[in-house]
C-alpha cells in the first residue's frame, strides 16, 4: 500500500467546494473520482467499536435509469460548477422503496440458493481465479426471463472474507456491494459485486436466509444506507464476511458491465455473489 504521507492530499471536495472531513488521498486504493464526491461524513454502527467514513458520490451504474440516477446526470451535464442544491435533490431521490424484490431479469435464479457444498476463500482474488471464463458462460446463452433458473455453474455456494469498498441501492431493491481485497495485500486491487437481494415471497425456501442477511446489512448501516449514487468506504474499507451463491450476470454479458466507474477497471468479472445469504460487517 502506498505511503499516504507521500501522496498528494486534497482538503476540499472539488464538486461542491465543501471542506473534507479529513484529507483525501486520490491515489489511495479504492478511491472514487474526487469530483464525484458530494458528501463526506462518518458513522458508527450501533454497538460497534469502530467508526467508518462515507464518501457519498454521484457515481451510478451506467444502465440505471431511475429518477435518482437521471437527477445526477441532469445536475452534472454541461455544468462547470454544478449547483449543490441540484445534487442534493438528486441524492434524496430513492431509487426504490421497500424490501420486496422488484426486478424481472432472471428472477428465479436471483431469488434461489445454490445446492452445492460451501467453499471457503480468504481473499476475493482467490475466488475470482476459480470462476468459469466469460466466453464459456456467454456461449450458454442463458435466458433472461423471470423464470430463468440457475445453471450448473451457478449452483456453487461460497464463504469469502474481504473488505467492503462501496455500495448502492438499485431499482430492483437490491443493494450492490463492491467487495475487494485487503487494502494492505500485495498485488493488484481486485473487486467483485455481491448483492444483498430484495426479498422473495415469504413462502420461498430462500426467504429466511435472504431476510436475515438483509436485516444484518440494514442494521449495520442504520440511517446511513446508500442511495442511487455509490457510497465509498475506501478511506477505511469495512471488513466483511459473505456467504452466498454464485451468479452469472447474463444481462450484462455484452455492453457496459455493472459497477461504479472508478472501480470497474479493477472488476475483472461479471460473476456475482447473488444472493448473499449471510453477511457479517465490521
Answer with the one of 30, 64, 91 that is the final residue of a domain. 91
Range in 43-57, 71-85, 111-125 the model is least confident about? 71-85
148, 142 contact by CB (below 8 A): yes
Domain membership of residue 191 as a residue range:
107-281
Do residues 38 and 169 both lie within one domain? no
**Number of domain units in the chain:** 2
Establish if 99 belongs to a structural domain.
no
Asked if 228 and 264 sit in the same domain, the reply is: yes
What's the CATH number where 231 sits? 2.40.50.140
- Does 102 map to a domain? no
How many residues are recorded in the chain? 282
pLDDT at 62: 82
In which residue are the cell numbers 457519498 written?
Answer: 56
Cα 195 to Cα 174: distance, rounded to the nearest angstrom: 6
Single residue among 91, 121, 156 that ends a domain in this structure: 91
**24-38, 41-55, 69-83, 163-177: least confident range:** 69-83
77 pLDDT higher than 90: no
**Residue that finishes a domain, picked among 30, 65, 91:** 91
Portion of the chain with pLDDT greater than 70, in percent? 96
87 and 125 fall within a common domain: no
Question: What pTM does this model have?
Answer: 0.94
Percent of the chain with pLDDT over 90: 79
Do 250 and 106 meet the contact criterion of CB atoms below 8 Å apart?
yes
Residue 87's pLDDT band (cuts 50, 70, 90): confident
The tens digit of pLDDT for each residue in 236-257 reads 999 999 999 999 999 999 888 8
Q: Is 96 within a domain?
A: no
Amino acid at each position: 500500500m502506498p505511503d499516504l504521507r507521500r501522496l498528494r492530499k486534497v482538503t476540499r471536495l472539488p464538486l461542491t467546494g465543501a471542506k473534507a472531513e479529513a484529507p483525501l488521498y486520490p491515489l489511495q486504493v479504492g478511491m472514487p473520482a474526487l469530483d464525484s464526491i458530494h458528501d463526506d461524513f462518518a458513522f458508527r454502527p450501533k454497538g460497534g467499536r469502530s467508526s467508518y467514513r462515507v464518501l457519498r458520490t454521484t457515481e451510478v451504474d451506467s444502465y440505471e435509469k431511475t429518477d435518482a440516477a437521471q437527477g445526477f446526470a441532469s445536475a452534472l451535464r454541461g455544468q462547470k460548477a454544478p449547483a449543490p442544491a441540484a445534487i442534493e435533490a438528486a441524492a434524496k431521490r430513492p431509487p426504490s422503496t421497500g424490501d420486496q424484490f422488484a426486478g424481472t431479469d432472471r428472477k428465479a435464479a436471483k431469488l434461489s440458493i445454490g445446492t452445492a457444498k460451501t467453499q471457503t476463500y480468504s481473499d476475493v482474488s482467490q475466488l475470482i481465479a476459480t470462476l468459469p471464463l466469460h466466453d464459456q458462460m456467454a456461449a450458454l446463452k442463458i435466458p433472461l426471463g423471470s423464470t430463468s433458473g440457475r445453471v450448473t455453474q451457478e449452483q456453487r455456494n461460497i464463504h469469502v472474507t474481504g473488505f467492503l469498498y462501496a455500495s448502492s441501492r438499485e431499482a430492483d431493491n437490491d443493494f450492490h456491494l463492491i467487495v475487494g481485497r485487503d487494502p494492505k495485500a500485495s498485488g493488484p486491487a481486485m473487486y467483485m459485486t455481491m448483492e444483498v437481494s430484495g426479498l422473495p415471497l415469504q413462502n420461498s425456501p430462500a426467504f429466511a436466509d435472504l431476510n436475515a442477511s438483509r436485516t444484518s446489512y440494514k442494521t449495520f448501516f442504520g440511517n446511513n444506507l446508500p442511495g442511487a449514487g455509490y457510497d465509498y468506504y475506501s478511506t477505511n474499507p469495512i471488513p466483511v464476511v459473505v456467504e452466498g451463491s454464485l451468479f452469472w450476470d447474463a444481462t450484462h454479458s455484452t455492453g457496459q458491465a455493472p459497477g461504479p466507474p472508478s472501480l470497474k477497471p479493477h472488476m475483472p468479472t461479471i460473476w456475482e455473489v447473488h444472493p448473499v445469504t449471510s453477511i457479517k460487517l465490521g
